[in-house]
Structure 1
């Protein structure tokens, strides 16, 4: 995704439900992380057939999430093989009080799919952490913090975090400008007001 100011807010329920497919989310993640690639290259990473990858890429392109990549200096993408890339315009998904039932349902469905994919990435990173170098282990952070804020403060905090992260995003930062040793990393940010928990009551004696 690109900087917050250029993101397109998703409101089309059909597009959101199309994107929420696990294989399509994995494909989009692959394109954003590694740059342009072919359907065959995507298939190898996602674990599907090249024909299935081509179908999912066409569906992603239909709704503007991916597009044809330009011909590279080495000739890739010249018509003999089709190179895909994530679209230049990023996107965001945020519930809105004015959303109708279809839009609200599609947003909740997509956000849950995002969260499942994010949880899987975090779990795999945690399982692999002991195999990382000391440098990367020290740099990693798995944190959960409770905040006492009002709505305006929470919104401002969200904007400040996005501004901080934007220059480092894979769709923004030129790989040639990154320092030696740079690798794909992930930031997972969730800012939300906690829902009040209903008391469960005391357990009954057996």
Structure 2
């Protein structure tokens, strides 16, 4: 498996900006190789639908067949863990739109997952350790870039555990999401 993939093709961006396909990517990234049937059980989809989405993801080089299966019991695995894309003036209009659509879908997914986890958590230790924070500050573009870079570096401290499967006793899969952007607050 290689480094995070940089997405530049609007068709690849659009292909991954689908909830079932993103669910497949998340499951394969976290749990390793899985078959269409195993994915279907986790995603509450049919194996045929998952097979179709797997082929679409493979068509755009997000996944590949893993060793150890035949016929309908073929496992699939990620080609890359992680992805990035641009949403700035240096990209074409189609790439920009596709990247924005993917970002919106992911943000909605992350917020829904955070709210669901907050509502379901009953363990006081996990409930107290989870958090939501928001800050507003006057920053220059350089300062914002520095801050988001440092947040990404800090949040990525344990990224290697995903690829190695290292799971300390008592660990749970946790999602850390942070963003920074120039915003307008109405008067």
TM-score by length of 1: 0.81
CA drift of 1:162 comes to 2.2
CA distance in 2, matches of 1:58, 1:170: 28
**Structure 1 residue corresponding to 2:131, chosen from 141, 145, 154:** 141
In structure 2, relative to structure 1, the CA distance for the partners of 1:150 and 1:11 (3 Å cut) is: same
Look at both structures and tell me which one has the larger radius of gyration over its CA atoms. 1
CA distance in 2, matches of 1:89, 1:126: 26
Q: Can you list the C-alpha shifts for 1:100-150, whole angstroms capped at 9, x where unaligned?
A: 221111111111111111121112111112x2x222112111222223321
CA distance in 2, matches of 1:84, 1:160: 34
CA distance in 2, matches of 1:122, 1:54: 28
Aligned partners of 1:93 and 1:107 also within 8 Å:
yes
Aligned partners of 2:20 and 2:53 also within 8 Å:
yes
Tell me which residue corresponds to 2:176.
187
**Structure 2 residue corresponding to 1:121, chosen from 113, 121, 137:** 113
Tell me which residue corresponds to 1:35.
32
Higher helix share: 2
Aligned length: 186
Aligned partners of 2:30 and 2:162 also within 8 Å:
no
Tell me which residue corresponds to 2:74.
82
**Structure 2 residue corresponding to 1:151, chosen from 134, 141, 145:** 141
Tell me which residue corresponds to 2:63.
66
Unaligned runs of 5+ in 1: 71-76, 200-206
In structure 2, relative to structure 1, the CA distance for the partners of 1:147 and 1:178 (3 Å cut) is: farther
Q: Is 1:56 aligned to 2:53, yes or no? A: yes
Tell me which residue corresponds to 2:158.
168
Aligned partners of 1:10 and 1:93 also within 8 Å:
yes
CA distance in 2, matches of 1:198, 1:139: 33
Aligned partners of 1:167 and 1:173 also within 8 Å:
no
The root-mean-square deviation of aligned C-alpha atoms, in Å, is 2.2
TM-score by length of 2: 0.88
CA distance in 2, matches of 1:67, 1:159: 31
Tell me which residue corresponds to 1:178.
167
Q: Can you list the C-alpha shifts for 1:47-81, whole angstroms capped at 9, x where unaligned?
A: 110011011011111112122234xxxxxx24362
